[in-house]
Structure 1
């Protein structure tokens, strides 16, 4: 929901940084992989109970997630790069809740499992919609130039990062935060299913 407004503010800065990195020979795929490594390190720190350093790594990881697209636009966009970006993003999104479950299985296990279930459903609806949109040659630039069709929703990248950061700042509240955010994700998936029914119905 907030991604569009945030992108309008950040994209000019990211595009300048991306052009500078591309000029130095840094590839978009390398930035994507670095972002994942930082995200997995954050999840590991969460599992060890080091929440504040984990929050810092999450921020830097997501900076890389924004920079990889900027580097690609300044050099060369590839289908593999778009594929890698999506797969590693989903890996990061699953790793952070797992870190909280590992940190305190008794307190966080049920809510964390519910959140991972909601992520799974929401991710499936997002990717399935993208496949059907590609089949029908639909296009959108609502979230900028992307390698696949992006549908909007209540739970997008910005909301997910805010949830992760709040959970790191207030780890004792993770079960409540995770339950609420899981419901938001499921609502987003349901709204996408309704949108698909309206968009993909047979004439």
Structure 2
């Protein structure tokens, strides 16, 4: 729901940062892997109840995740201006979405471990979040694949065709951060979040089906 607005706000700062990072040894794929490693580290530290460390790692991992695509687009524009091949990296897009899914799932598990051990939180709200993540991810990945084959892609600068709904990347980052700030309320937040993601999944299924008919 907020992805488009936030991307507009962050576009300039990300461009400036990507320009500063644009060095031969730094590639979009390496930034993706860095974001993956930091995200998994955030999940592990959350499992050990190091909540503020986990929060910092989480936020930095998401910054790296935002910078990989920005750097890739910057290099494509430069290649085009020099008359060189500027085709987008499908491998990079694949790596990026895979890393996102690993990090999101790992964070849910890490928070569940930490909140259960420290505050006696029940497991089932976190399992519910993982379930609706699975359904939601299946819906938009299936849509993206079929849309590509049928020529009905949604081009917003990203590698895949995203059906924007009420629960998108921005909301996910915010909720996962909120878990780490308020771990004693983690399972209650998970329960509400699962409802939002479930509604988003239903929206994606309905809209995707209608778009592809």
TM-score (norm 1): 0.93
- How far the C-alpha of 1:22 sits from its partner, in A, is 2.3
Matching residue within 137, 145, 154 for 2:151:
137
| 2:101 alignment counterpart | 90
Please give the secondary structure, in 1, of the residue aligned with 2:22. helix
| 2:171 alignment counterpart | 159
CA distance in 2, matches of 1:185, 1:140: 21
Give structure 1 regions of 4+ aligned residues with deviation exceeding 4 angstroms. Answer: none
1:123 lines up with 2:134 in the alignment: no
Task: Tell whether the 8 Å contact from 1:100 to 1:108 is kept in structure 2 after alignment.
Answer: no
Residue-pair matches, total: 199
Q: CA RMSD in A?
A: 1.3
| 1:101 alignment counterpart | 112
TM-score (norm 2): 0.89
Structure 2: state its 5+ residue gaps: 77-87
Task: Tell whether the 8 Å contact from 2:163 to 2:208 is kept in structure 1 after alignment.
Answer: no
Task: Tell whether the 8 Å contact from 2:18 to 2:67 is kept in structure 1 after alignment.
Answer: yes
CA distance in 2, matches of 1:133, 1:27: 29
Per the alignment, do residues 108 and 56 of structure 1 end up closer, same or farther by CA in structure 2, a change over 3 Å counting? farther
- How far the C-alpha of 1:74 sits from its partner, in A, is 1.9
Task: Tell whether the 8 Å contact from 2:144 to 2:153 is kept in structure 1 after alignment.
Answer: no
